[in-house]
Structure 1
C-alpha cells in the first residue's frame, strides 16, 4: 500500500504524543487514592467535565469512521452522526442527575444502592467489560490504520504501539490524567476540525450547495448518496441502529463514570449540556469533511490505490487534510486523531479496570484494602491493554463507526434497561435486574456474533444466521420485558407466600 511519510507530519505527531505523555507524568504525582484514580477526586467543573465527556465521545468512530461512512455511503453515513448526538437528551433528562446522586465511582455503585450489591456488581462488571471490548475494537483499528498510513509502519506494530501507550496513560495517571488528556485533545480536535472545514468550504466559495453538487457529480453512485439507500432496503436494521445509538450512550460505562468526577448534581447536569453543544458542533463539521472527501479526494488519483482510497475509507479525513492543507495540516490532523484515539482508549481502559478492581475484587469479593485495590486496577489495565491489541489485530478490516454501533447496541440492551429501571421503578427486584441485564447482554452479544459484522465479515461465513445488525430492535425490548416480568412475578410470589403463612 502506498504510504505518506514526511518530516512535517511526523514531527507534529511526535509533539502531540509527547505532550500527552508529559500530562500523564505530571498528573500521576497526585494519584494516590481510589477517588483520585477512579474519579479525579470529584472536583471537576461542569465545563471541564463537559469538554472531557465530549472528548470521550469524539472517538475514532466519530471522526474517522463517520467521515469515512459519509465518503462511502453519503446520507447513510450521516445517520450515524445524528444518532450519536441524539442520545444525549436521554442522558440529560433520565440518567445524569439520578446517577450522580446515587453513585460514587461507576454505574454499578448506583445499582448497588437499591439492589443486592454482590450479584449486581458482578453483572455490571461483566457487562461493562463486554461493551468496552467492542468499543476498543474501533479505536484500535482506527489507530492502527492511521499509523500505518502516516509512518508506513506495519499494522501489527502500529496496534502494539497504541496498546503500550494507552496502558501507560491509565496505569500511572488514572482518571485525572485521562481527563486532562481528554480536555486538551477535545480542544485540539475541535480547532483542527474547524480548520479542515473552513479550508474545505473555501475550495467551493463557502457555498455548501456547491460542495454537495461536486460530491454528487464525482461519486460513483451520484444522486444516490443523498438518499437513505441501504436503510431503505433494510428498514428493520435501520430502526435497530437508531435504537442502539439513541439508548446506547446512556449505557456506556466510560461515559457514565464521568458523572462522578463533578462535585454535585447541578454540575453533572451542566456537564451534559456542554457535552451536547461540543458534540453537535463537531458532527456538523464532520458532515462537511465527509462530503469534502468525496468531492476532493475520490477524484484525485494520487489518493487512490488498487483497493480503493489510500489507507481505506477510515482515512478519508486524513487524506482530505493533505489535499486542502498539505503536509502540515495532515500532520496536525493525524496527530490529533491519534491523540483522540489514545484518550478514548485510556477512558475505556480505566472503566474496565474499575469494573475489575472495584466491582469484582473490592466489592464482590470483599477485599477492603485500598492499596491492594489500586494495585489490582493497574494489573487489570495491563490485561486490558493486551486484550485491546488482540482485538485490533483480529478486526483490522472493519469500519470503526460500524463497530462502535455494535458496542452501543450491547450497552443499550444490557446496561441501559437495568440502570433506568433501578432509578425510576421501585418495583424492580435484584432477580429482575439480573435476569433483564443478563438476557439483554447474552442476546445482544450472541446475535451480534451471529450477525453480518462478525459471522460474515470477520469469521468468513457466506451468510449471517441473524440478519440484522445491530440487534437492538429485539434485544432492548427483551431486556425490559424480562426485568419487569421477573420482578412482578417475584413480588407476587412473595406476597402469596406471606398471605399463605398468615
Structure 2
C-alpha cells in the first residue's frame, strides 16, 4: 500500500536521503581533489587549462544549465498547470539554442577567461571591464541567492527539517561545500562536478520517464488523459477548473497576465545568451572544433531532458495528484520527489534527493568560479593593477573572492529562506538579457560600436532592470511578494524584460551614434577574424 503520510512533512526516509547525498559529496570531493593536482596556472584555475574534450564539456554545459529549477520547478509547473508549465521547458530549450547560435562559439573564440575579455576587446579596457564585471557579479549574486535559499526549502521536504535553524544550517553546509569545490578544484574540479551531476540528473530523469511510460503502457495519450482527470477531480475549485491540456491555466484571464508571460519569455530566451557562468564554459575547450562538438552534445542532452519533464510533469499529476503535490512542503517543487517515491519507494526517492542536492551544489559552484574569476581578472588585474599582476596573484584574489561570495551567499540565503525568491531568478535572467546581451551582440556584429554605446547599454540595462523589479508586484503589493506588507508597486509586470531589454539595445545604438569615437578598425578586423576562426584564442587580449 502507498504511504499517504507524505504531505506537509518530509517524504520517504530522511536518513536514506542524507546518506545518499553524503555519498555523492564524498565521491565528488575525491574527484575535485584529484583534479586539483594539476592546477598550476591561471588558465588551469579559470578555464581548466582548456583541456576538456567537446563531449566532456558538452555534458558539463548541460550540468551547468539544468538547475534545480529545471528539474523540480518545471516538473511541478507541468503537474499543476499543464501546458503553461511546459512552456518553461520550451522557453529554456529555445533560449539555449539562441545562446549557442548567436554568441557562444564567437564569444569563446574571442575571449580568454571571462565575458569582459570580449566586450573590451576593441573598446577602452578599464571602463568596459568594470561595467562587465559589475554586471557579472550582480547576475551571479542574485542567481546564487536564489539557489542557496532554494536549498533551504528543498531540505524541508527531503530531510524533514522544518525549523528555520535547521534549514539555515543546511544552507551553510551547501555554501561551505561550494567554497571547498572552488578553492580546491578551480574550474577543473567544478567541471567534473558538473559532469557527474549531469549524468546523474539525466539518467535519473530518463529512468523515471521509462517507469511512468511503463505504468501507462507506453501510451502518452493515457498519461495526459489521466492527468486531466486527476486535475478535474481535485478538491480545490481553483485547480479543478484548469484545463491542463490547453494554454491559459496559469498565464491567462487578463491582458496584464499575458503581457507578463511574454515579458518573462523574452527575459528567459534572451537572458541565457548573457549568463556569464554558462558562456564561461566554452573557454574550457582547446579549439573551435571542440567548442562545436560541445554544442552538439549539449543540445542533445538538454533537449532530451526537457522532453522527459513533459512525461514527469503529467505523470506526477496522474499518479500523485495535484492535491498531494500542493499540500507537501515545497508545493509544486515537490512533484518530482513525490513521483519518485510513488514509483520506487525510499531508494529512488533518496537517489532523486541526492540528484537535487547535487544540482544545487554544482550550479552554485559554477556561479562562484565565474564571479570570482571576473573580479580577479577584470577588476583586480585589469582595472586596479592595470595589467601589472602575476597569474598567481590573480588566482589568489579569485580564491579570496570565492570565500567572500560564499559567505555572502550563505548569509543572504539564510535571510531569504522562506521568502518568495522566484523573482531573484527572473531578475538574474533579466539583468543578463538587458545588461549583457546587447553589448555582446553589438561587439561581435557591429563594427561601428564604441565605448559609449557599451557603457550606456550595460549600465542602462542593469539600472533599469533593478529599478523596475524593485517597484514591481514581485517585491510588494501582493500576498506572495517579497515584502507582503508593503505596497509600492507602480510597475505592473513582475518581470521587466519586455521594457528593459529593448531599452538597453536602444541605448547601445544611441550611445554609439552620439559619440565621435569610430573605434579601432584594426582591432575590429582582428576581432572578426578571431571570432569566426578561433585563431589566437589562447593569447592574452589585454592591450
Alignment TM-score, normalising by the size of structure 1: 0.93
In structure 1, the partner of 2:492 is 467
Distance 1:10 1:131 in 2: 31
1:359-374 equivalence runs, <5 A: 359-366=378-385, 367-374=388-395
Asked if 1:235 is matched to 2:258, the reply is yes
Deviation, 1:144, is 2.0
- C-alpha distance after superposition, 1:241-296 (max 9, x if no partner): 12111111110000111111111222222212221111110011112112222222
Verify the 8 A CA contact 2:227 2:315 in the aligned structure 1. Answer: yes
In structure 1, the partner of 2:539 is none
SS in 2 for 1:194: helix
Distance 1:121 1:261 in 2: 21
In structure 1, the partner of 2:482 is 458
In structure 2, the partner of 1:442 is 463
Deviation, 1:388, is 1.6
Deviation, 1:387, is 2.0
SS in 2 for 1:455: coil
In structure 2, the partner of 1:497 is none
Verify the 8 A CA contact 2:14 2:160 in the aligned structure 1. Answer: no
Structure with the larger helix share: 1
Verify the 8 A CA contact 2:9 2:328 in the aligned structure 1. Answer: no
Between 142-151 and 477-486, report the one with greater CA deviation. 142-151
Between 359-368 and 102-111, report the one with greater CA deviation. 359-368
Indicate which of 270, 273, 276 corresponds to 2:299. 276
Deviation, 1:319, is 1.4
In structure 2, the partner of 1:348 is 367
Residues matched between the structures, number: 490
Verify the 8 A CA contact 1:144 1:159 in the aligned structure 2. Answer: yes
Q: Where does structure 1 lack aligned partners over 5 or more consecutive residues?
A: 495-502
Distance 1:228 1:463 in 2: 28
Distance 1:447 1:268 in 2: 37
In structure 2, the partner of 1:45 is 53
Deviation, 1:401, is 6.5
Distance 2:134 2:421 in 1: 23
In structure 1, the partner of 2:10 is 3
1:70-469 equivalence runs, <5 A: 70-153=78-161, 154-219=166-231, 220-226=239-245, 227-232=247-252, 233=254, 234-298=257-321, 303=324, 308-366=327-385, 367-397=388-418, 403-456=424-477, 457-460=481-484, 461-462=486-487, 464-469=489-494
Deviation, 1:52, is 0.5
Deviation, 1:397, is 4.1
Distance 1:449 1:268 in 2: 38
Deviation, 1:211, is 1.4
Q: Where does structure 2 lack aligned partners over 5 or more consecutive residues?
A: 1-7, 232-238, 520-543
Distance 2:435 2:151 in 1: 28
- C-alpha distance after superposition, 1:309-341 (max 9, x if no partner): 234322221111111110000000110111111
RMSD of the TM alignment (CA)?
A: 2.0
Asked if 1:16 is matched to 2:24, the reply is yes
In structure 2, the partner of 1:485 is 510
Verify the 8 A CA contact 1:92 1:269 in the aligned structure 2. Answer: no
- C-alpha distance after superposition, 1:59-83 (max 9, x if no partner): 0111111112222322222111111
Verify the 8 A CA contact 2:84 2:251 in the aligned structure 1. Answer: yes
- C-alpha distance after superposition, 1:134-171 (max 9, x if no partner): 21133223322223322223221121111111111111
